[in-house]
């Protein structure tokens, strides 16, 4: 699988074209976080259509995020990102917003969530626009 460190400006604009204007700023930050290999890194496990990347250049461990905004409201998306084990106890998806109940966390990261609550909200705003 080929990994891309960033999404091009045109691809990001195409993805955000359907996001309501009031959510655009949060969604833009969320999209950047979703593609950031140090933060969300969503495409390592999920296909996100509309990026201009072939499906085979994205992950196939998790389900496609195509239409995820039509299947979940913002609160549901936040909850899934924060701690997906709440919904799927055997998931391999990281719990991006919790620090308890994790296994084999490297010393520098112990007691720190991967994403802040604001970052999780921004990613949820982006995913909510994927309809």
**CATH code assigned at 70:** 1.10.760.10
Quick check: 96 and 113 in contact, CB under 8 A?
A: yes
In a domain, 4, yes or no: no
Total domains in the fold of the chain: 1
Give residue 116's domain range. Answer: 9-128
For residue range 114-123, what is the model confidence (pLDDT) as tens digits?
999 999 999 9
Q: 26 lies in a domain?
A: yes
Whether residue 120 lies inside any domain: the answer is: yes
pLDDT band at 95 (very low <50, low <70, confident <90, very high): very high
79, HSE (Cβ side, Cα atoms, 13 Å): 9
What is the rounded distance in angstroms from the CA atom of residue 113 to the CA atom of residue 110? Answer: 8
């Amino acid at each position: 699988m080929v990994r891309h460190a960033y999404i091009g400006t045109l691809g990001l604009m195409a993805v955000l074209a359907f996001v309501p204007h009031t959510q655009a700023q949060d969604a833009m930050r969320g999209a950047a976080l979703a593609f950031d290999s140090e933060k969300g890194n969503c495409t390592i496990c999920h296909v996100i259509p509309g990026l201009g990347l072939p499906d085979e250049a994205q992950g196939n461990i998790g389900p496609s995020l195509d239409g995820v905004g039509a299947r979940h409201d913002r609160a549901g998306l936040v909850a899934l990102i924060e701690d997906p084990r709440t919904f799927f106890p055997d998931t391999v998806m990281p719990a991006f917003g919790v620090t308890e109940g994790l296994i084999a966390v490297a010393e520098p990261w112990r007691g720190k969530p991967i994403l802040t609550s604001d970052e999780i909200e921004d990613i949820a705003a982006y995913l909510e626009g994927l309809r």
